[in-house]
Amino acid sequence: MRVLVTGGAGFIGREVVAELTRHGDDVVVLDSLRPDVHGPAAVSAEEPADGRVLVGDVRDPDAVGRALAGCDAVVHLAAKVGLGVSLGDIDDYVSSNDLGTAVLLRAARVPHVVYASSMVVYGEGRYDCAEHGQVAPPPRRTEDLDAGLFEPRCPVCGEPLRPGLVTEDARLDPRNVYAATKAHGEALHAAWARQTGGSATALRFHNVYGPGMPRDTPYAGVAALFRAAVERGEAPTVLEDGQQRRDFVHVTDVARAVAAAAHAPQEPGTVTPFNVGSGVVTTVGEMAQVTAKLLAGPDPVVTGGYRLGDVRHVTASSEAAAAALGWRARVGLEEGLATLT
């Protein structure tokens, strides 16, 4: 099978290309090699393992057309990632992610597309109130965050909520610009699937980490930021109280999930979402502690600070991917972080 991987020269993309190649696929890569996405040190015209790289932007119809020639499927990873540094980035996020997806789908004459979505489309994860059952908390108030009151509360009675695992049928509630573009990307794939009869799979990645993750850009994830701090001889800085719940999944497991989805199209005419996580709940503070220990760095510092676009807890069940794709994560957190040293 000939597969186009957009963003295939990036952190996740290189692992995906290698995994597809191991499956015997013929891989074509389209990547813009943007310095603000890849980081200055990562920008290179080198080919990922056994792949052919076309340098071009997914917003360029000519580049997309050349890359799609002869392809049987598409893995769409190309995106501007991260929380969003400021509203000054909003147009670039929408252009890079929404317009890029639209240009790609307009030209895609393939039966199947795999789309890199994100757990950020959920906003806050699942919460249950002891009295009112499952509820959806509103965005946290600035005055509460300033006072160090980080836990979401029941919108009915105001009592603290119990976090749980969110499933794919949950209502989407994107709470920052990047999240909004990912949710819209899923909607665009749904429209493409309905109109073409093709199938689309939206993989909602959790917090991906592993070798080669970007560290020198404002869009780096928390695992990369902690590692970079320790390597500078500094203590990892943990926001809020460090008890935020996340699911950290190793990039090799993510690549396996992408390959499994590429080879297992779901129902034609639809977009099918799957959570892609390790299945293990880890707090941000625990991630910082494990990183500092493995790299023999200073103990983390919990600051009590916050970012308005952040959510408190978001962890999800990946059982649907196990059932439909035969995929489960294999790499534990300490084992995975050891690959960074």
CA distances for 3 relative to 25, 28, 120, 263, angstroms: 7, 6, 26, 10
pLDDT digits (tens, 9 = 90+) for 131-141: 999 999 888 88
Instruction: Give the pLDDT score at 337.
Output: 86
Instruction: Give the pLDDT score at 40.
Output: 53
- Dihedral angle sign, alpha carbons of residues 250, 85, 190, 245: positive
How high is the mean pLDDT in each 10-residue block of the chain (341 residues)? 97 96 97 74 45 89 97 97 74 96 98 97 94 92 94 93 95 91 98 98 95 68 85 94 96 98 97 97 95 92 89 94 98 88 59
What six digits make up the tokens of 40?
């200055």
Give me the residue label for tokens 């943990």. Answer: 238
Looking only at the bridges linking them, the beta strands covering 126-129 and 133-135 are: antiparallel
Q: Are the C-beta atoms of 247 and 277 separated by less than 8 Å? A: yes
Instruction: Give the pLDDT score at 307.
Output: 87
Query: How far is residue 54's CA from residue 47's CA, in Å, rounded to a whole number?
Result: 9
Give me the residue label for tokens 């917090």. Answer: 207
Query: How far is residue 275's CA from residue 166's CA, in Å, rounded to a whole number?
Result: 9
What six digits make up the tokens of 90?
């909003």
What six digits make up the tokens of 21?
């190649």
Alpha helix positions (H), 110-266: 142-146, 177-196, 222-231, 251-262
Instruction: Give the pLDDT score at 42.
Output: 45
CA distances for 62 relative to 26, 59, 112, 340, angstroms: 21, 9, 21, 38
Instruction: Give the pLDDT score at 45.
Output: 44
Instruction: Give the pLDDT score at 61.
Output: 98
Instruction: Give the pLDDT score at 217.
Output: 58
* Amino acid letter for position 24: G
What six digits make up the tokens of 295?
């790299």
Per-residue DSSP letters for 56-108? --TT-HHHHHHHHTT-SEEEE-----SS-S-GGGHHHHIIIIIIHHHHHHHH-
Residue 160 DSSP class? B
Per-residue DSSP letters for 166-194? E-TTSPP---SHHHHHHHHHHHHHHHHHH
Q: Are the C-beta atoms of 67 and 45 separated by less than 8 Å? A: no
